[in-house]
Amino acid sequence: MTFDIHPIVVHFPIALLFVYSILKILPLSKWWSGVSWRQIERVLLIIGVCGAFVALATGSTAAHLAKPDRTLLHAHETFAQLTTILYSALLVGEIAAFINERALVSQPTLLRIIQIVESILANRVFSAILAFVALIALFMTGLLGGAIVYGAAADPLAGIILPLLGIPV
């Protein structure tokens, strides 16, 4: 017998990545300078991205068990994949920054590639913008998932957003 564990698994990455985005967007280091925000962000991001991949995998099983509206399901899957890609890009930037901070690579060509990746994906302004866009994708994924489970009438925003996506309410 196959069980649908997607609803159990999906809420952890949502919560972790939501908190990560808020920490990344808000200038908390200016208000509380004694806290190691970057380390907290990294932990949230690592666990959140790993959880997002598990949520993607369990979502495939959930789709086969529940058999929801295909248009709604396709939009939900698309935003879930986009969300995972965006947060994964942020994680790649943090991994590159970690490697550079610890001087873990000495080969010049590889080191240069890692420095370029870090300069783009771990840039303070760019990563905050990317975290904001990822947060919107996360919100859309959750909204569409809620519409699949509870129907479009359960969320007042669904009635506004679903028609914008071309999904009948």
- DSSP 8-state code for residue 105: -
Contact 141, 80 (CB under 8 A): yes
Task: Report which residue type is found at 58.
Answer: T
Q: Using one digit for the tens of pLDDT, what is the confidence trace for 3-16?
A: 678 888 999 999 99
Give 92-136 pLDDT, tens digit per residue.
999 999 999 998 888 999 999 999 999 999 999 999 999 999 999
Do the beta carbons of residue 23 and residue 44 sit within 8 Å?
A: yes
Distance CA(122)–CA(99), nearest Å, equals 12
Contact 6, 58 (CB under 8 A): yes
Residue-wise pLDDT for 53-86, tens only, equals: 999 999 877 766 666 778 899 999 999 999 999 9
Nearest to 13 by CA among 54, 55, 48, 59: 48
Closest CA relative to residue 96, chosen from 88, 12, 24, 1 = 88
Residue the block writes with tokens 């957003």:
161
Global pTM reads: 0.91
